Amino acid sequence: MNSLTFHQITTADVKQLMPIENNCHSHPWSEKTFKSCINGRYFSEYALDKKQLKIGFYVGEHVAGEATLMDICVEPSLQGKGYGKALLLQFLQQVKTLNASKVFLEVRASNIAAQMLYMNHNFIEISRRTAYYPSAKGFGYEDAIVMSLTL
Ligand SMILES: CC(C)(COP(=O)(O)OP(=O)(O)OC[C@H]1O[C@@H](n2cnc3c(N)ncnc32)[C@H](O)[C@@H]1OP(=O)(O)O)[C@@H](O)C(=O)NCCC(=O)NCCS
């Protein structure tokens, strides 16, 4: 998507990105957790639209040739416009730059939108973690689907 620009996330950006994190997840990261996933083995970028508005971000981890997509979020009012796809492609571009050959992620079994996004980019389900996430409905638990992509 040509109208987006991508910018490395620093700990100074996290406060501004927290509303997107909070609006996107039933059990969002705390600001402290988000900050602990910046730098070191982590890599992350936020996207700005042409009005310079922060519309979403991704956070990845890279260890020994394998990358994990830790988080990817698009502000809910802006979802369904191709921004999630643009962020995923940017993440995969960075994974290639890091010379990682395998990508992993975990997604809630109920999160069909995210699963469709990943499947459209050749991720395949490789396993399930039973009752891994506290349910988004507020009671009980739901499975995590583990997906991977070989580059
Ligand atoms: C997952 C997420 C990042 C997708 O962002 P988005 O900007 O809405 O996605 P896009 O508009 O780029 O759509 C990309 C693809 O996702 C899938 N998708 C998006 N919304 C969908 C929906 N409501 N139902 C089914 N598939 C959907 C489609 O495959 C779509 O491709 P297509 O338009 O060619 O059919 C966004 O829904 C989000 O932030 N969700 C909350 C956070 C989250 O769940 N993150 C994933 C954690 S594992």
Number of domains forming the structure of the chain: 1
Q: Take atom 22 of ligand 1 and give the residue whose Cα is closest.
A: 113
Closest CA to 103 of 128, 140, 67, 146: 67
Q: Does residue 24's CB lie within 6 angstroms of at least one atom of ligand 1?
A: yes
* Dist. CA 82 → ligand 1 center (Å): 8
Best mutation site among 44, 72, 117 for ligand 1, i.e. most ligand atoms within 8 A of its Cβ? 117
pTM assigned to the model: 0.96
Query: Hey, which residues are catalytic here?
Result: 106, 118
Which residues form the domain of 87? 5-150
Other C-beta atoms within 10 Å of 101: how many?
A: 13
DSSP β-ladder status, 66-74 and 102-108: parallel
Q: Does residue 19's CB lie within 6 angstroms of at least one atom of ligand 1?
A: no
Write out the two tokens for 92. Answer: 């995969």
The CATH number for 13's domain is 3.40.630.30
Sheet of 54-63: strand order equals: 5-8, 42-48, 54-63, 66-74, 102-108, 141-150, 124-134
For the chain, counts of helices (H) and of strands (E): 4, 7
Q: What is the pLDDT along the chain (151 residues), one digit of tens a residue?
A: 668 999 999 999 999 999 999 999 999 999 999 999 999 999 999 999 999 999 999 999 999 999 999 999 999 999 999 999 999 999 999 999 999 999 999 999 999 999 999 999 999 999 999 999 999 887 899 999 999 999 9
Task: Give 121's DSSP letter.
Answer: T
